[in-house]
A and B are shown apart, each in its own frame.
Chain A
């Protein structure tokens, strides 16, 4: 089965606190994973992908094949990080399979 699980619907932190949004996946084969973000009143947009091993807006995510996880992390949250975050898996045939999303609220 191809599935993405995001266990938290809501994550609330204060500005400057560390953030970790959890994502677990189920996939047989070599997975390709993404984090998409949706800010208020904006379209869904790609935040980062695991193959790029990049840091975007201070966020990083490491693929852990042993734990089948792709958690999104940021050491110091900012108010502008408040948004809906979706973890996604590129399934077969070529399509994205999304988790249910986690709403991140960063309080001042």
Chain B
């Protein structure tokens, strides 16, 4: 499967612990997005990268969240001092450079449960 891949697929952590998710985009895609999805809601935008540059961050992304894409390929999303409200599906997506006509492809997501 050469689509967007995410790891781990499921993570259960205790409140206060740090967690990190990894995303490998489709090869040659220079745009990479992170979304969050909770039950009953559609995906909500968190942040995106053009190559290694983080171009926008949503106000949903508190200072406990940090995302990186150091070499313009894979990306990591770290959540520090997790809270129960962080329990959600974290989706990664990628595309060629932005603009109409470029499809955004999604990964299968990483489920986070904070207990």
Q: Could you list 10 examples of A-B contacts with CB < 8 Å?
A: A42-B108, A44-B91, A45-B105, A51-B101, A86-B43, A93-B98, A94-B31, A95-B56, A96-B33, A96-B45
Establish whether residues B56 and A96, one from each chain, have CB atoms under 8 Å apart when the complex forms. no
Residue of A with least CB distance to B108: A43
> Which chain A residues have a beta carbon within 8 Å of chain B's beta carbons?
4, 6, 9, 32, 36, 42-46, 49, 51, 86, 88, 90, 93-101
Interface residues on B, range: 20 to 34
> Which chain B residues have a beta carbon within 8 Å of chain A's beta carbons?
3-4, 31, 33, 40-45, 48, 55-56, 91, 93, 98-101, 103-109
Chain A residues with CB under 8 A of B41: 100-101
Known: A32-B100, A51-B101. A93 touches B45 (CB 8 A): no
Establish whether residues B42 and A98, one from each chain, have CB atoms under 8 Å apart when the complex forms. yes
Known: A32-B100, A44-B91, A51-B101. A97 touches B45 (CB 8 A): yes
Establish whether residues B42 and A95, one from each chain, have CB atoms under 8 Å apart when the complex forms. no
Establish whether residues B100 and A90, one from each chain, have CB atoms under 8 Å apart when the complex forms. yes
Establish whether residues B42 and A86, one from each chain, have CB atoms under 8 Å apart when the complex forms. yes
Establish whether residues B48 and A98, one from each chain, have CB atoms under 8 Å apart when the complex forms. no
Q: How far is the CA of A99 from the CA of B109 in the complex (A)?
A: 18
Establish whether residues A99 and B99, one from each chain, have CB atoms under 8 Å apart when the complex forms. no
Q: How far is the CB of A5 from chain B (nearest CB, A)?
A: 11
Q: How far is the CA of A94 from the CA of B100 in the complex (A)?
A: 9
Chain A residues with CB under 8 A of B99: 94
Residue of B with least CB distance to A38: B106
